[in-house]
Structure formats: C-alpha cells, structure tokens
Amino acid sequence: MLLGTIQITGEDLRDAEVKGICESLNDNSIRILSLRGCRIHDEDFKKLMDSLKECESLAQLNLNLGVCNGKHRIKWLSEALVANKYLTSLFLHGTSLGDEGLECLMPALQLHPRLQSLDFGDCQLGDDSIKQICTLLPLTEGREGLVELTLSANQGVTPLGWTQLAIAIAANSQLQNLYLDYNNIGDYGAGVLSVALAASSSLERVDLEGCGVSEKGAEMFFAVIANYPTKMQELVLFENNVSAELIGQINDCLNQKSQGSAEDQESPEKSLEDDQNNQVAC
C-alpha cells in the first residue's frame, strides 16, 4: 500500500480535519505528518497524540513553530512517544521547550527504538539540554543512534555545552548531519568541533552559518579536512568573519576528497571491464 502524506502549514485546524488525521493514523495509512505552525485546540492535540501511540506507519512528525508549546502538550507528546515504536524523525523547531521541557521529553526519547532525526532548533535550550541530547547519539542495544541533529539558534548554549557535544560526537556517534547555525559558537567552539570532526567516522555535513567563527576558527577546520580521513562532504561557514578565499579552499578540498572517495569505491567489476577495454585499445 502506498502511504500518504499530510502537510498543513499555518492554519487553524478544525474538528473535521483533526478527525481525518486521527483516522489516517489509526488506519496506518500515513507516513509523513506535518502541521508546521498550525493552531489547534488542546483537546484536539491530545486526540492526535493518542492516535500516534498505536500508529505503526508514521515515520516523520513535524510540529515546528509552536504547535507543541505548553507543558501539557509536551507531556502528551512524551506519553505518545513512549507507546509509539515506529517514528524515525521528530521536528520541534521553534517550540518553547527550554531545558525543563526537554527534560520531560528525554525519558521517551531515550527509550524510543527508532528515532534517528531530531530538530530542536530555536527551542531555547541551554547546556543542560545539550548534555542530555548527547546521550541520544550512540547506537545502543534496543535503540538506534541519531543520524541527523538540528540545534540551530539555541543561543543559551555556552562553550561548555558545545564541548560536551563535541566529546560525545568524537567518543561514540554515528551522526551524519549536524546543523548548528546561528549559535554563539565562536572560535573556541570551532576548535572543539574540529577535534570531533577529526575523530568522527560518520559526519558528512556540518552547518555553522552565522556562528561567530573567524578566520582562525575556519583554519582549524581546514587543517582537519586537509589532513585527516574524514567523510565530510559539506561545511557551511557563510555569515561568519571568514574570507571567501578560505571558504573556497575548504570547499575545493572537500570536493577533491569526495571525488577521490568515489573512485576508491569503484566496483571490481567496473575496474575489470576498464582493464579489458584498455587491453583491447592497446
């Protein structure tokens, strides 16, 4: 059966619409549900969370831009996540979580067996939240580790928080995509993250747009990319105090390494075919 997608943005959800969404969840006929910026009554939000508990088809849930604001809604979402075993992506960008709200969600997130992508951008998080999120990075028995993590615009996080995140990435992580744009990271944060990048065997994309990084911080990233066997494909450094020349050098280095990696992974069959063609040509 071809599973459906429901995407509604910035609307007032009526009872009939909520009923239809709940029916889709109950029937296991929906794979993606996005209610970005929608306004919904508390009782209807709870109905959606109750339906989420038993849904086996939903892979991605987008509640960005305040849909889950309020301690009671965070509690209902947490209860739904405890029961649900199939969701792989949860987006809460622009939710007024704070450290207290994330603490309420953490037990459910730590128990969930399949969550691999989380968006906590602009959620008013601090160092305590980063410390807790670090526990979600590694693959453990009974739980997938995170592959994608968004922490954009959480400007309450200090150098301590970014250091904790860097240590977790370096120590035991399968994270591939990391979005940290518009945070107060600076050159110190760039330094600890460059160490994490050097140690990581999985990181492919890191977004540091508008993070207060200077030429000095970018040079540390360049040194890692140029001298260590990382899997990095993209490093975003726009809107920082970094020269276009250095950004160009970093991108050129990434492109060269990406091309070299692709050549190294060439199949034996194709290599044999090329050898035979070369022999014929000779």
Q: pLDDT for 65-94, tens place per residue?
A: 999 999 999 999 999 999 999 999 999 999
Which homologous superfamily does the CATH classification assign to the domain defined by 1-124? Ribonuclease Inhibitor (3.80.10.10)
CA distance 64 to 130: 19
The rounded distance, in Å, linking the Cα atoms of 71 and 96 is 9
pLDDT, tens digit, for every residue of 124-155? 999 999 999 999 999 888 888 999 999 999 99
pLDDT at 142 (0 to 100): 84
> What is the mean pLDDT of the segment spanning 41-59?
97
User: Which pLDDT band holds residue 277 (cuts at 50, 70, 90)?
Assistant: very low
Any long-range contacts for 76-80 (C-beta under 8 Å, 24+ apart)?
A: 76/45, 76/46, 76/49, 77/49, 77/105, 77/108, 78/104, 78/105, 78/107, 78/108, 79/49, 79/53, 79/108, 80/49, 80/50, 80/52, 80/53
Mean pLDDT value across residues 267-274: 46
Q: What is the model's pLDDT at position 265?
A: 61
For residue range 159-169, what is the model confidence (pLDDT) as tens digits? 999 999 999 99
Read off the pTM: 0.91
- Residue 172 pLDDT level (bands cut at 50, 70, 90): confident
Tokens at 138, concatenated: 């590694």
Q: Which of 125, 251, 133, 135 is nearest to 184 (CA)?
A: 125
Q: Residue ranges of the domains in the chain?
A: 1-124, 159-260
Start-to-end CA distance of the chain, whole Å, equals 54
**275 confidence band (pLDDT: 50, 70, 90):** very low
pLDDT for residue 266:
58
Sign of CA dihedral 188, 194, 199, 203: positive
One-letter amino acid at 38 equals C
* pLDDT of 19 higher than 90: yes
8 A C-beta contact, residue 249 and residue 223: no
The fold adopted by the segment(s) 159-260 is 3.80.10
Per the listing, tokens 């987008």 go with 62
For residues 52 and 61, is the Cβ–Cβ distance under 8 A? yes
Distance CA 196, CA 13 (A): 43
pLDDT score of 244 more than 70: yes
Q: Coil, strand or helix: which one is 163?
A: helix
Computed over every residue of the chain, the mean pLDDT equals 92
What's the mean pLDDT in 95-120?
97
| Rg of the chain in Å (alpha carbons) | 22
Percent of the chain with pLDDT over 70: 91
Q: What is the pLDDT of residue 280?
A: 32
Q: What does the alpha-carbon distance between residue 73 and residue 88 come to, in Å, rounded to a whole number?
A: 20
Q: What is the pLDDT of residue 117?
A: 98
| Identical fold, 1-124 and 159-260 | yes
